[in-house]
Structure 1
Amino acid sequence: MLEEDGFTTVILTPTHEFNREVGIPRSVALEYPYGRLLGEVGDADGQRQVLLATLAVLEQAQAPGQVKHLPFEWPEDPRHTHWHPPEMSPIVKAHLDDIKRARERMKERG
């Protein structure tokens, strides 16, 4: 809908194949772990580089449907990266009981 209204969009994703299948207009592929798409925690310079490279695709992409692979590499095998922070996010912590109740309702419904 945004594209139809004249807004050019781009998505940063580790799953560009899926995004192409569902029709995402422009994808920037990056083989970083889920939840860490801009880079490592505390690496402001690396995060800035990823963000600027992603935004540059808005100018470089000639047509919807294109995928640009960024040249950045995660410093370790992503399969061995700890994806979750050592502490639960404050938002999740505040709504943990709601989340648990919703899961129970889903189980009951089958």
Structure 2
Amino acid sequence: MLRYTLMRLGVFVGCLVVVWGAVYSGIAPRGLGDSNGLWVVLLALLISAPISFVVLRKERDRASVQVARRVDRMKASLDANRSQEDVADDSARTQGQTS
């Protein structure tokens, strides 16, 4: 998961550098007034999102498999804890009835 996040961040930073260069060289329009920095960041986000979606597909699939495994382990752990509580509750009830 960390690898995917770092790769996504790298795509964004690459887009940010390209957009910054395009804006300051006059290829892309500048923002209005003092909003130029925000304009560059938003434009870089807009460009990096579809690039990440296409380029990082395999890495995203690997990360989702890891997340799914982790969720399955947590569900199994919760089910095991529930069954232990049920057994303890049942034994406490049977002991309470026999006393």
Higher relative helix content: 2
Higher relative strand content: 1
Say whether the fold is shared (TM-score over 0.5).
no
Q: Give the TM-score normalised by the residue count of structure 2.
A: 0.29
> Which of the two has higher C-alpha Rg?
2
Q: Give the TM-score normalised by the residue count of structure 1.
A: 0.27
Higher relative contact order (CA 8 A, sep 6+): 2
